[in-house]
Structure 1
Amino acid sequence: MNRQRKQMSLGAFLFSFGHHFAAWRHHLTEADSVIDLNFYKRNAQAAERGKMDMIFFADALSLPDKEDVVHDVSSVYPDASTVISALAGVTERIGLAATVSTTFNEPFNLARRFATLDHLTGGRTAWNVVTSTKNTEARNFGADNLPHHGNRYERAHDFLNAVNALWDSWEESALVFDKENGQFADTTRIHATLHDGPFFRVQGPLNIPRPPQGKPVIVEAGTSEAGQKLAAQTADVVFTACADLRQAQQFYGQLKSQLAAFNRQPDELKVMPGVMFFLGDTVEEAKAREAEFHELIVPEASTSYLSRLLNYDLSGYPVDGPLPDIPAEGNSSRAKMVMEKAKQDGLSIRELGLYFSVARGHLTVTGTAEQIADKLQEWFESEACDGFNIMPPYLPGGLEQFVDRVIPLLQARGLFRTDYEGNTLREHLGLSRPDSRYSLLETNRQSS
């Protein structure tokens, strides 16, 4: 595969006031309101000006501990699908990706919501499929604890099967619009879903025609063994966290190698690790900017954040001592990353809290625009990824810096587009529009 002829994909990960834990405290951050449409609009339009593939929103279904809000504004999550709905009206080409959990939702509601968004945006939506990872979320939905990790992924797989069936329930030619004869639709081309799986029974059909993209782009994390298997079978894009090039190459090769088992080609799945950056006119300036942000982290807040990542209360342990033994079974892939980092580098709780509160285990690049572009090019051309999910340390200024200073360098090197060539997110990502399960039936009907 000749990587020189390919172009990288770039997403803008919008998160709170920026991805650095203390972004809201920095003087460059306009931290006036935690939910402000103009704030999101400015970020979205900057990403679109940079011709980025998509903007991406995480989501959560609980406030982990109300004490966390004392120091950490990122505990607050606006509903992601509502935010992208609002941004649909103030953008024209950029993709819009929202996180929704399969653990505490139902297939019909989600399929209907994203089909609606895909129609309203002309085919620009993506669903980031997650399984909830915090017991505090379970307690908001009538349960004491989350289901077992494997059980959550089995439910997610069944959820996706039901949603895909619903999105396919209208054939492409089901809408007739025959005004003269008074026929709006051909009901023989609208099919009951009749999904009967281990977790969901859904009769269908959906009460909205098939989405413009066939189905919205499916994004997953896919880091754990179960997550990789699900992603290899069902995902279009995988967002991952990796700070080491060799580990990223290993993950990339391992995930791509699983696609053949599901009759998929390597280019049908895009791997996009997250990357945070600190940019300056010189390396010294960039390092000084990074240090400015780090100095704003309240130590006990980063330890509290580490507890949330681990789903384990660390408040009773000495912050300069080692991480206690924490059960890995049932925990998230990010929690396992924390435990591996602690074991590998011998870091204390305080040191781990600082490390993960900054970039949460993602690649961090500190330097000039040229050095940041060099690092992205190195990873892209060495089979470590198909692009990146950009994580500015502060917003909106950090994203605007990347758009104005780094993207032009990538464009000049032929690594990134200078303009959109299509209108849908699938076109931006170089992904084909999936056939409906009724495509062959439609073809045979037309030829008979």
Structure 2
Amino acid sequence: MTKQLHLGGFQIASQVTHSHAAWRHPGSDTAFTTPEYYHRIGRILERGKFDFVFFADLLAAPARYGRDISEPLRRGTQATATLDPSLVAASIGAVTSKLGVAITKSATYFHPYELARIFASLDHLTRGRVAWNIVTSLTQSEAQNFGHDNHLDHEFRYERAEEFVRTAIELWSSWDPDALVLDKETGVFADPGRIRRVDHDGQYFKSRGPLNVPRSPQGRPVLIQAGSSNTGRDFAARWAEAIFEIDPTPEGRRAYYDDIKSRASNFGRNPDGVLIFPAFIPFIGETESIAREKQAFHNELADPISGLITLSVHTDHDFSQYDLDAPVEDVQVTGTQGLFDTARRVANRDNLTLRDIGKWYAQGVLLPQYVGTASQVADQIEESFTAGEADGFMVSAAQSPGTFNDFVDYVVPELQRRGLFRTEYQGDTLRDHLGLSSVDDRVAV
């Protein structure tokens, strides 16, 4: 049987996603503060048999570029207005029955008990369709929103996150699957012998436990990560079951894929249990010419300053201090080093200025754009998949929900005809969709 790929739909509970032109596009719905907006996206993706919808998140409005919030607000850049994705996930879960919902929560600005309780509850409410995208947060603004003067050092954040994940898993495991008895005749609600205190007393966290939420359908959420630095890649290879990746070049995607699989193997994991999802933005037309026109229209809407505002957030580095029309300098950043390294690598290769990088970043945060008819877009997906760059893909929208509608109506059937994608869901939980083992089959932490 032909190996099949997986699909996730990328979202932020906001007016933009990777595309900073999305909210300005005349075809976009901008009612991102309403439940109907997310219900519509969820239903479209479930109709297309997507594995999950993925919600990225930041915990602060951007204030890194020029150290001012005015321009981000005026231009409507990433994270200027963002709903809490855990509440959006519950809302989507209520109107879908198969689609997984992956949400971002920070291991820096939450406590393991609080987070474990949120995800166990969501896993119950969605009947086993939740994933946790583990981040350590990016910016000084996020630190200041949570009462800290400074954001934690990159290496320290990941060291702390290691213990955070271990503690959360201990809490999710504090109830056995059959601990909830609910025997009305005997009056036994739960079996105390199948529920354990955690008594975690580590370097960074303390938690007595047990969790006061019964064992959820998946046992614990699917774990997602997006490590790009060397430390981040190690963290992803150690913990993640799905990894979200951004690289605009085939050679970069192949190198990342091979590197993560190798690291996972070195940690004693089965590399097949670590699924890698590079992202792209599709532009689909009845003809290639129409698709190119859609791409050009979208890309022209992208504003270079908006892109540099978000690049400043992602790297936690103020790019307003540099000449827009000069080459991109080599600087050390405290945020996502991997994204900046990728941007600078391509800038050097193509002789791009900082303004060019800002325009490119606003068009899709370094994502490749797959352009053409449904068949041509499917060709590009198949080529990347069979070349060993991916186990699945994250589809990001140039306009919402139009991009998802086009992809589901035209590209998904083409992938199905080629035997590359499911025609029906084969299970009920997100672990089922992704072909991941149950937590009981995995080595305990």
Q: TM-score range by the shorter chain?
A: over 0.9
- Following superposition, the deviation at residue 380 of structure 1 comes to 0.9
**Match for 1:82 among 79, 87, 90?**
87
CA 1:18–1:129: 2 relative to 1, 3 Å: closer
Separation in 2, partners of 1:395, 1:354: 20
Q: Which of 371-380 and 277-286 deviates more?
A: 277-286
- Give the letter aligned to residue 209 of structure 2: G
Q: Which residue of 1 aligns with 2:66?
A: none
For structure 1, the residue ranges without an aligned partner over 5 or more in a row are 440-448
**1:21 and 2:7 equivalent?**
no
Q: Could you give the per-residue CA deviations for residues 317-364 of structure 1, whole angstroms, max 9, x where no partner exists? A: 321112344224665422332333333433111100011111212222
TM-score (norm 2): 0.94
CA 1:215–1:221: 2 relative to 1, 3 Å: same
Q: Secondary structure at the match of 1:176?
A: strand
Q: Which residue of 1 aligns with 2:175?
A: 170
Q: Could you give the per-residue CA deviations for residues 103-149 of structure 1, whole angstroms, max 9, x where no partner exists? A: 10100010001000101111000010001111111111122221111
Separation in 2, partners of 1:263, 1:315: 44
Conserved? CA contact 1:12–1:56, under 8 Å? yes
Q: Which residue of 1 aligns with 2:52?
A: 54
- Give the letter aligned to residue 40 of structure 1: Y
**1:12 and 2:16 equivalent?**
no
Conserved? CA contact 2:22–2:398, under 8 Å? yes
**Match for 2:286 among 265, 281, 285?**
281
Separation in 2, partners of 1:382, 1:331: 27
- Following superposition, the deviation at residue 177 of structure 1 comes to 2.2
**Match for 1:241 among 246, 249, 252?**
246
Q: Which residue of 2 aligns with 1:445?
A: none
**1:362 and 2:367 equivalent?**
yes
Q: Which residue of 2 aligns with 1:313?
A: 318
**Match for 1:411 among 412, 416, 421?**
416
- Give the letter aligned to residue 26 of structure 2: H
CA 1:111–1:436: 2 relative to 1, 3 Å: farther
For structure 2, the residue ranges without an aligned partner over 5 or more in a row are 64-68
Q: Secondary structure at the match of 1:405?
A: helix
- Following superposition, the deviation at residue 423 of structure 1 comes to 0.2
Q: How does 1:221-260 map to 2 (within 5 A)?
A: 221-260=226-265
- Following superposition, the deviation at residue 11 of structure 1 comes to 0.4
Separation in 1, partners of 2:77, 2:368: 22
Separation in 2, partners of 1:301, 1:319: 13
CA 1:373–1:438: 2 relative to 1, 3 Å: closer
Between the two proteins, what is the percent identity of the paired residues? 40
**Match for 1:141 among 133, 146, 154?**
146
- Following superposition, the deviation at residue 236 of structure 1 comes to 0.7
Q: Which residue of 1 aligns with 2:134?
A: 129
Q: How does 1:184-203 map to 2 (within 5 A)?
A: 184-203=189-208
Conserved? CA contact 1:167–1:206, under 8 Å? yes
Q: Which residue of 2 aligns with 1:92?
A: 97
Separation in 1, partners of 2:33, 2:334: 36
Q: Secondary structure at the match of 2:439?
A: coil
**Match for 1:348 among 353, 370, 383?**
353
Q: Which residue of 1 aligns with 2:110?
A: 105
CA 1:257–1:291: 2 relative to 1, 3 Å: same
Conserved? CA contact 2:228–2:337, under 8 Å? no
Q: Which residue of 1 aligns with 2:37?
A: 39
- Give the letter aligned to residue 28 of structure 1: G
Q: Which residue of 2 aligns with 1:375?
A: 380
Separation in 2, partners of 1:398, 1:82: 24
Conserved? CA contact 2:315–2:334, under 8 Å? no
- Give the letter aligned to residue 25 of structure 1: R
Q: Which of 16-25 and 194-203 deviates more?
A: 16-25
- Following superposition, the deviation at residue 438 of structure 1 comes to 11
- Give the letter aligned to residue 290 of structure 1: Q
- Give the letter aligned to residue 235 of structure 2: L
- Give the letter aligned to residue 38 of structure 2: Y
Conserved? CA contact 2:105–2:132, under 8 Å? yes
- Give the letter aligned to residue 297 of structure 2: E
Q: How much is the aligned-residue C-alpha RMSD, in angstroms? A: 1.8
CA 1:287–1:123: 2 relative to 1, 3 Å: same
Runs of 4 or more, structure 1, over 6 Å off, are 436-439
**1:70 and 2:82 equivalent?**
no
Conserved? CA contact 1:10–1:389, under 8 Å? yes
Q: Which residue of 1 aligns with 2:396?
A: 391
Separation in 2, partners of 1:236, 1:208: 23
Q: How many residues align?
A: 435
Separation in 1, partners of 2:368, 2:219: 33
Q: Secondary structure at the match of 2:7?
A: strand
**1:337 and 2:342 equivalent?**
yes
TM-score (norm 1): 0.93
- Give the letter aligned to residue 309 of structure 2: S
